Amino acid sequence: MAGRYGDLDYPSITKRGMAFGLLLFVVGALGDTVVASTFGPLPAWEYTLFLDMEILGIVVLLLTPFVFGVALPLTE
């Protein structure tokens, strides 16, 4: 039986969202340190990009379990 939002697999979406958020955070953190130490000083837009990736990764990591693991399954 399809629910209110269709036939969604909430545990799978939650796990993939958490993995995506963690990947964003790790790429942003490692990119900031490894790329800067390997290639020297980076332009300001690259530092901004890596910082934004870290922040977005943390936001996704915090919101995904609450949205797809708690809120949406309870509203069906």
Residue ranges of domains in the chain: 10-75
Beta pairing partners, 3: 6
- Nearest Cα to 54, choosing from 64, 44, 65, 46? 46
- Nearest Cα to 55, choosing from 19, 29, 18? 29
Is the pLDDT at 5 greater than 70, yes or no? no
Cα 36 to Cα 5: distance, rounded to the nearest angstrom? 44
A 10 A CB-CB count for 31 gives: 18
- Rounded mean pLDDT, 26-31: 94
pLDDT tens-digit readout, 47-71: 999 999 999 999 999 999 999 989 9
Is the pLDDT at 43 greater than 80, yes or no? yes
Query: What's the pTM value of the predicted model, to 2 decimals?
Result: 0.85
